[in-house]
Chains A and B, each alone.
Chain A
Amino acid sequence: VTCHDALTAMDAYLDDELTVLEALRVQQHLGRCASCRQAAESEAALHSLVAAEAMQEAPPTTLQERILQSIRAETGAQGTRPRRPRRSIPFSAWLPRGALAGLLLACLALPGTGGPADAPFAGDVVARHLRYTTSATPDLDLTTPDASRLAGWLHQRLGFAVGVPPAAGRGERLLGGRVSTIANRPAAYVLYEGEGGRRVSLFVARRWSRAPMEESEESIEGVDLYTATLNDVSLAWWADRDRFYLALARAGTTDLRGLAVLCIRQRGLTAGAPVGLTEAAAGLGGGPGKGGSGSRLLTQVHG
């Protein structure tokens, strides 16, 4: 990739419109070309400024209710207050126990390694994790330590609710998020950073598939958790209700298990969850590579 190629592709790169391979090529060039890197950082700053400015506009909170009232008036429908979107998921929509293991194990193989070339999405998310986290200024659409604000922002853009723990498994602080994809499906991307610049990525998408039964490594509060390592990046994934979660970090999988616990516990909590979640994060301080079986983790959580 030449400077001209990189600069020509810059908008598409920042807009997440390149293929993973193209994006990695641009990123590789940016890693060794200070001039193009400076241009990329400047352009990324402009993108962030435009988005941040428009987000300052606070729409009236009553508008949605007024619209609903208009519709009820027009149709003569009954109802004095809007119902919240139903979130219950039919039993048949649940993945069978261990189903995602088959799905992910099948997909973990990158092209050229004998795996299905049409579903290399684990390689894709690893590439995105590296791309979003490698530079000093992470590639985020919204930079905020406020989990509620980020969750609302992601909900607006994706059309589905995303629970965002205010800290990751070892207390890594929330940096922000962006809209991304997993397997060409819309996904929320959330980034945490801990001591020494250790970064943890979390992707959340709507669950989308079934796969053959396989045994998982461990279960956390009834949710099967799977882990793997790909290109020195640790992955942990799980499906909880109608969401699919995928966490990545260069650290060991223990950190990711901690984040999984936080996400799984968050959906079971009501208002005021962030305090409990932060406490849970503080109590899950296993270091990278310490192993940490599922039962040990559960002992920590419930102990």
Chain B
Amino acid sequence: VKDDPALNARIRQFEIQILPHVPDLCRIARRLGVTTSDAEDLVQETCLRAFRTQDQLRRPDAARTWLFAVFRSVFLRFATKHRSTASASSIPLEVLPLPARWDDAREAGLEWATLEDVRAAILRLPLVYRETLLLAHVAGFSYRELAQILEVPVGTVMSRLFRARRLVREALRETSPRACSVERRR
């Protein structure tokens, strides 16, 4: 067992910079559709990789963005290996057209939605939209940070977020009593 001051300092730095983000990594991993056990494994592998490559982190204030980029890399490798989860890169970006009218996607009223409905709607999203939505809402990244993590232009981040939210709203609308009553009237 080593009592190496430099190594201990490195571990202490890891505790400060990386460990506080473990809960959000877990939440995102779970909502990406993996089991609890796989989510924990993915997060652990992410953190170990982050520790091994800690010297690549030039700016401490960018630790969170960098860590989630590492996580995404670990997750995509897992997703490719386990074909149960589609690889984000395999999903075409333009699977959904932008709405002709903004009103279509922004009808008022979500009072019927339960969190279970929301969870189901998120889990039904294509992975490319789901990961963007989760990184924005759960991890709270800005468009610029999302662009860095996802390795896409900011405009692509914005269109993915827009489509993800539209899909969630449409899924919620399908589960709403109002939608059901409309269906019945027809």
Contact = CB atoms under 8 A, between A and B. Distances in A.
Interface of A: 4, 7-8, 10-12, 15-17, 38-39, 41-43, 45-47, 49-57, 59-60, 63-64, 66-68, 70-72, 74-79, 82-86, 141, 155-157, 159, 179, 186
Nearest to A186: B61
Contact of B122 (A50, A63, A67): A50
A75 B40 CA distance: 21
A11 B164 CA distance: 12
Given A57-B26, A67-B19, 14 more contacts: A15-B142, A17-B142, A42-B110, A46-B165, A50-B118, A50-B122, A51-B137, A53-B119, A54-B28, A59-B23, A63-B43, A68-B15, A74-B48, A77-B2
A45 B111 CA distance: 9
A46 B168 contact: yes
Contacts of B95: none
A82 B31 CA distance: 29
Contacts of B109: 42
Nearest to B142: A17
A12 B43 contact: no
B122 A71 contact: no
Tell me the dominant secondary structure on chain A's binding face: helix
B136 interface: yes
Contacts of B4: 77
Interface of B: 1-4, 7-8, 11-12, 14-17, 19-24, 26-28, 30-31, 40, 43-44, 47-48, 51, 61, 63-64, 102-103, 106-110, 113, 115, 118-119, 122, 133-134, 136-140, 142-143, 158, 161-162, 165, 168-169, 172
Given A55-B138, A78-B8, A63 B40 contact: yes
B2 A156 contact: no
A15 B19 contact: no
A59 to B, nearest CB: 4
A56 B122 CA distance: 13
A56 B48 CA distance: 26
A263 to B, nearest CB: 21
Contact of A56 (B7, B8, B115, B139): B115
A157 B140 CA distance: 7
B64 A71 contact: no
A43 B101 CA distance: 15
A77 B16 CA distance: 17
A10 B24 CA distance: 26
A68 B51 CA distance: 10
A49 B118 contact: yes
B169 A46 contact: yes
Given A42-B108, A67-B48, A78-B2, A15 B136 contact: yes
